[in-house]
Amino acid sequence: MPVTLADIALDPPVLLAPMAGITDLPFRRLVASFGAGLVVSEMVASQEMVEAKASVRARAELGFGENATAVQLAGREAHWMAEAARIAEGQGARIIDINMGCPAKKVVGGLSGSALMRDLDHALRLIDAVVGAVNVPVTLKTRLGWDDKTLNAPALAQRAETAGIRMITIHGRTRCQFYKGTAKWGAIRAVKDAVSIPVIANGDITDAPAAAQALRCSGADGVMVGRGIQGQPWLVAEIGAALFGTPTPVAPQGDALVAMVAAHYEDMLAFYGRDLGGKVARKHLGWYMDGAGTPPALRKEVLTTKDPGAVLKALPLALAQTSQRAAA
């Protein structure tokens, strides 16, 4: 069953997680082209967004106005969070997501992200400010708690629902775990039992069997895919088809894979410019080649050349292992 937020149906309820340096607009568009219930922008610092020049906000390209995109905001001050939410809504954002789950030291050190789980009263002040500032649905992404001694996600979820949050995503780890160990999907059930709004399970969703197990353990209404998407942008749609019966995507192989990777690479160059785009593209090209089993020497050649033409020329050979498997 799809999850509905106001007049927005998340169908299937399989979502792309916000990941810094990964889920930029070119990648989100690619994932959405295969089929996704929702894609979420990279985390945006609220004060920086408000204070930035219009040209800087335009470069951020949050995907304002795109039906299947949520804009994720982070911050520690209610004023900046509310103002950033107003800007996002004013430019067409249909969903605002609040980040209270990022474990990065530079974010937590600024008392944002998962640091807010140590002060639920302050966390609620931020939620109240954002919900009160906009008319579009506001969602929340967080973790189980700060550490194993403070598993307060159910309490936060209850208070967030009362404040007007329309959906909550729980990463099945604490902040102190970062990304170590395994996600505790069963622990998410306490959040699901505490609220009536949709709950999305996140953490270690790497394929359809993992997603199915996460749903069984958590009782959640849907799943969010993070690092498992690297190198396989069709994964969200693939999980949606397996679990919720949406159209099955055709995972590209052979010439189709080469064409998709080339188009993604050229989209990044157009979006960022040749020099920065070439640098940003390396991580994605590396993941594609990891999946293809590209020989190390050729992989290094593709990732170190600064000539886009040479990269495009090398892709058919670099992805040849996948091409050969497709033809077999």
Alpha-carbon Rg for the chain in angstroms = 20
Question: Is the CB of residue 48 less than 8 Å from the CB of residue 20?
Answer: no
CA distance 285 to 262: 9
Which of 49, 84, 88, 102 is an active site residue?
102
Tokens coding 39: 């894609």
CA distance 251 to 18: 22
DSSP 30-96: HHHHH--SEEEPPPEEHHHHHHS-HHHHHHH---TT-TTEEEEEE-S-HHHHHHHHHHHHHTT-S-E
Upstream peptide bond of 12 is cis (omega within 30 degrees of 0): yes
Helix (H, G, I), strand (E, B) or coil at 327: helix
102 is a catalytic site residue: yes
Catalytic residues: 102
